A = this chain, B = another copy of it.
Amino acid sequence: MKNVIVGQSGGPTSVINASLLGVYKQAKKLGAEKVYGMVYGIQGLLEGNIIDLDEYLLDKRNQELLRRTPSAFLGSCRFKLPEPALDEKTYQKIFDVLRDYEIDAFFYIGGNDSMDTIKKLSSYSSMIYGDRLFIGVPKTIDNDLAITDHTPGYGSACKYIATTLKELVRDGLVYQNPVISVVEVMGRDAGWLTASASLVKSDDCEGVAMILLPELPVDIDHFLNKVGEIVRQGKSAVIAVSEGIKVADGRYVCQLADEGTQKDPFGHVRLAGTSRFLADLIAKTFGCRTKSMELSFMQRSASHCQSLVDVVEAEELGSYAVQLAYEDKSGVVATLVRTGNHPYSCKLDYSAVHHIANAVKKIPLEWIDGENYQVKQELVDYIRPLVEGYLEPIWENGLAKHLILKK
């Protein structure tokens, strides 16, 4: 194998760059002459925006910084490849670039849509060219990819979310006067991230009082009954909600807000915060003090609070993807298979990309206690090992240091 290329795609995570490092190091180790990076994913490749990663990563300190750098070092894109039948020119252009750079293997670190790119390129290649390899490396904080036990990026996001929620539980309890805080966590269709709120309950923390997940519709009356029980206890409480929770008729909970109060700058109804809507509803119903908060984009880029397990696995999957290429695999995605929880262990495996692309993995309903807005122990046991360990930032002048592309 002569040269390889790697790209990053979709939303950032705080360990997507550890996977990039895994690809780079393993490719160099196995003898690749050049490891190229696509700047802004496949879109950058189409524009010839390609760099030689040696320029940054021959330096061992830069490798350590890359591991701890949030967002995507190479830049990312949200670009859905058209079907080859509809637009073959785009494919020809991609393969022209690959030929020009003498690239034998193409690695793409991403989520659902990125795996769709791998699927299409590997299918097209096997029909037309035959000899180029396309391998996916999974990542997404949402943890909604099929087949793989979990996705890199998920564990660190959970560590940040649970650490923050634990601090917010303490903060809420500081006064005698109770307050109900509603904290909104990312997750449109799957509640994996919000479920990490279950980790907060421990010897040294009361935990969050309720966890609302998009896997089950919310019955507003039942929800208010349960909140009433909390309010009557007279103590502060934190409620964690997924942004994507819906009522039975399929509307998002935030769409229940009075339309007149929810206009975007162009006068359209907007999906304003779910947490804001619920906090207002609770205040109105019970006359109690409420707060609403959103963990927003902080939760996907908080590399100052990385899970070591997550960083290590992200790098291993990048490395393993390269090994798969050297075994002449194509159209596959590197995956994790859990082999134990006590102690936690995972082995590396792979799956044909068509099993993974475009599928969405939700929380199994039997892991959710919908009646009480709690999750079951199985789900806690599933998440807990993924937040273990900590990779301390490299601090410089008091702030976490990152590696960035030169202008």
Contacts and interface: CB of A to CB of B under 8 A. Distances in A.
B401 A71 contact: no
Interface string A296-318: 11101111110100000000000
Interface in A267-305: 280-281, 283-284, 291, 293-298, 300-305
A204 B407 CA distance: 11
A298 B399 contact: no
A43 B399 contact: no
B297 A294 contact: no
A400 B204 CA distance: 10
A280 B268 CA distance: 12
Contact of A260 (B12, B260, B264, B303): B260
Contacts of A258: 263
Interface stretch (A108-116, A119-127, A320-328, A384-392): A384-392
A168 B284 contact: no
Interface stretch (A73-81, A85-93, A146-154, A220-228): A73-81
Interface stretch (A24-32, A173-181, A352-360): A173-181
A407 to B, nearest CB: 9
Contact of A175 (B78, B163, B387): B78
B168 A298 contact: yes
B291 A294 contact: no
Q: Which of A11, A69, A261, A303 is packed against the most chain B CB atoms within 10 Å?
A: A261
Interface residues of A, number: 76
A3 interface: no
A65 B222 CA distance: 39
Contacts of A129: none
Interface of A: 11-12, 40, 43, 65, 69-72, 75-78, 159, 162-164, 166-168, 170-171, 173-176, 181, 199-200, 202, 204-205, 258, 260-266, 280-281, 283-284, 291, 293-298, 300-305, 307, 384-385, 387-390, 392-393, 395-404
A205 B404 contact: yes
A3 B24 CA distance: 63
Given A75-B174, A163-B304, A388-B398, 8 more contacts: A71-B173, A78-B175, A199-B399, A204-B401, A204-B404, A291-B296, A384-B397, A390-B392
Contact of A261 (B40, B261, B385): B261
B202 A397 contact: yes
B302 A159 contact: no
A87 to B, nearest CB: 20
B71 A167 contact: yes
Q: Which of A40, A72, A399 is packed against the most chain B CB atoms within 10 Å?
A: A399
Contact of A77 (B77, B175, B261, B396): B175
A76 B174 contact: yes
Contacts of A403: 204
B200 A301 contact: no
For the complex of A and B, list the 4 residue pairs with the smallest distance between their C-beta atoms, beginning with the closest: A387-B398, A265-B284, A71-B170, A171-B301
Contacts of A11: 174
Q: Which of A170, A205, A280, A303 is packed against the most chain B CB atoms within 10 Å?
A: A170
Contacts of A170: 12, 69-71, 301, 402, 404
Contact of A296 (B173, B293, B302, B400): B293
A298 B296 CA distance: 12
A399 B70 contact: no
B167 A303 contact: yes
Contact of A402 (B166, B305, B395): B166
